Structure formats: structure tokens, C-alpha cells
Amino acid sequence: MLYMHDLWVNWFEGEENGYNVCRFHEWRKEDGIEIVDQIPLLLIEDQLFECIQNDLQDLPMSLLQDVQKRTYMKKNQERHTIEYAAVVTNGQDVLVFDTLGYTLPVKKSRLIPRQERLVFEMVHGKKPASYRMEEPVTKEYHILSLEPEKMAGLTRRERQLKQLLMMALDQLKHSDYPEEVRYWLTEWNPAEYRFIKELTNEEAWERLYYGAAHGWSIHHEELCGKLIKGQPFFETIWEGENQKAAKHIKSQN
């Protein structure tokens, strides 16, 4: 079995979508980077890699048995054993997972570029191991878990705010004041005011959702900021993300 040593990891916990497991250039100082003393490296097939990267399904038992208690982390100069963890690659991309003792990839991380390159060198010319998923379930995307193409090209801050916008739109859909939907659609697209008046609430919401679900712009950001106004939970997320992003930009300059 192949092993890697002194690995830098930045864990993202409970993330089912790979776009929320940030690449190295989006890591922030407050993320809390850890160093893994030793961890197995597995070359696996594309389908399983995609499942680990973009889902939270149970991993193949044979894979878990292969990596069981083979990962070590150092804390306060003491070596601790991790139940199930590994670096996995399909030869094109790389991911690290830790199940926290469960059977699904609860924590995920990317690697720093130097260590990513080392992964590709180590598996070059080798055949992927074949692990069979017990009962693979087709991933279903929805408003609170958007398709990867709807997040493509966005920065970490933009992805977080877009998820916040989707949460606000989902809440709007179930609002006790359905007339609000047409109001916000008019805010989004004032040029169609006369047409919007003729839409049902459901039609208006669908139009607003499909318009906002694609891309990201200052228009999206303004809508998000207005929609969450007066909602403490959403406002806390908004302010926190903007502060973290500002600190990250400052540290890069």
C-alpha cells in the first residue's frame, strides 16, 4: 500500500458537494490547518471518486477495511490513530477523507499543490483498485444543494452567498405572504413588471429561482442582501462571510 507523510489538510465537515471543499488558493488563515503524520493513498475508479467527492454515501466496506487504523495524526507530540481515512485519486483529481469512525466521508480536504503533484507521481502507471459500492444511490440536486455547474467559476465567498440566497428563496417559497414573490421578482427584473403582474405565485417563484440559480453578479448579491434583511440568522451568515473574505483578500496583498 502507498502512504503519504506530513500532509497538510484543511477539513470541511459534512459537505456533500465537492465545490465546497475548497482548493488551496481559497484556504483562509482561520480555517485551522492540520498535519497528518501518515495516511494511505488509493488510486480508485472515476465513479467511486465522484461519489466520495460529491456525496455522503456509505463507502465500500472493502475500502474501509484496507485503510482501517492506517492513518496517524500528531497532537501535542502524541501520535493518534484515525479509524478510517485516506487520500484518494482517480489520476486527475485528489481528495482526502476522514469518516470520524463512521462509514461515510464526513470530513474532506484538498491538498496543497506540491502534495497533489506528489500524488500523481506516486500513482503514475498504476491500475486503479476496484471497490464496489454496496447500494449506490443517484445523487439528487435541489435548491439547497445546487448542481456543480451552477457553482462553476465562483469564488469561495460567492458560493457561500449563493447558498445563502438559495436558503432565502426557499424560505420565500413557503412564506405566509405569497404576494412577496412577485415583489421580489420585480426587484430582480423590473423591466418585466407588467408581465409579472399576470403570473401566479408559483410561476413567479419558478422564474425568480431559475434566474438567480445561474451565475453570480452584483445583481445576485443585491437581491441576497435585500432578501435577508431583518432576519438575524441569515444576516449573521452574510456579515461573517463578508468579514472572512475581506480578511483573506487583505492577507493576500
Read off the pLDDT of residues 117-145 as tens digits, 9 standing for 90 and up: 999 999 999 999 999 887 777 888 999 99
Q: Longest Cα pair distance anywhere in the chain, in angstroms?
A: 69
Alpha helices in the chain (DSSP H): 46-53, 61-67, 113-123, 156-173, 179-188, 193-196, 201-212, 218-227, 232-252
Q: Which three cell numbers stand for residue 237?
A: 451568515
pLDDT score at 32:
87
Inside any domain, residue 140: no
Q: Are 106 and 17 contained in the same domain?
A: yes
> Domain end: 123, 139, 156, which one?
123
Q: Are 106 and 161 contained in the same domain?
A: no
Inside any domain, residue 30: yes
Q: How far apart are CA 66 and CA 203, in angstroms?
A: 51
Spell out, as residue ranges, where the chain has pLDDT lower than 50: none
- Look at the alpha carbons of 100, 104, 106, 112 in this order and tell me if their dihedral is positive or negative: positive
pLDDT score at 139:
87
Q: Are 23 and 119 contained in the same domain?
A: yes
User: What does the pLDDT look like over 16-25, one tens digit per residue?
Assistant: 999 999 999 9
> Domain end: 90, 123, 156, which one?
123
Q: Are 100 and 173 contained in the same domain?
A: no
Q: Are 184 and 86 contained in the same domain?
A: no
* Count: domains in the chain: 2
Round the CA-based radius of gyration of the chain to a whole number and report it. Answer: 21
Coil vs helix vs strand at 35: strand
Count of other CB atoms within 10 angstroms of residue 79: 10
Q: How far apart are CA 49 and CA 51, in angstroms?
A: 5
> Domain end: 75, 108, 123, which one?
123
pTM of the model: 0.90
Q: Are 210 and 110 contained in the same domain?
A: no
Inside any domain, residue 119: yes
Inside any domain, residue 203: yes
Inside any domain, residue 29: yes
Q: Are 118 and 77 contained in the same domain?
A: yes
Q: Are 109 and 170 contained in the same domain?
A: no
Q: Are 108 and 154 contained in the same domain?
A: no
Count of other CB atoms within 10 angstroms of residue 63: 22
Q: Are 115 and 11 contained in the same domain?
A: yes
Angle between helices 232-252 and 218-227 (to 10 degrees): 140
Inside any domain, residue 33: yes
Inside any domain, residue 213: yes
Parallel, antiparallel or unpaired: strands 85-89 and 34-43: parallel
Q: Are 19 and 92 contained in the same domain?
A: yes
Inside any domain, residue 86: yes
pLDDT score at 90:
97
pLDDT score at 176:
80
pLDDT score at 23:
97
Q: Are 102 and 20 contained in the same domain?
A: yes
Angle between helices 218-227 and 156-173 (to 10 degrees): 50
Q: Quick one: DSSP state of residue 235?
A: H
Range of the domain at 81: 2-123
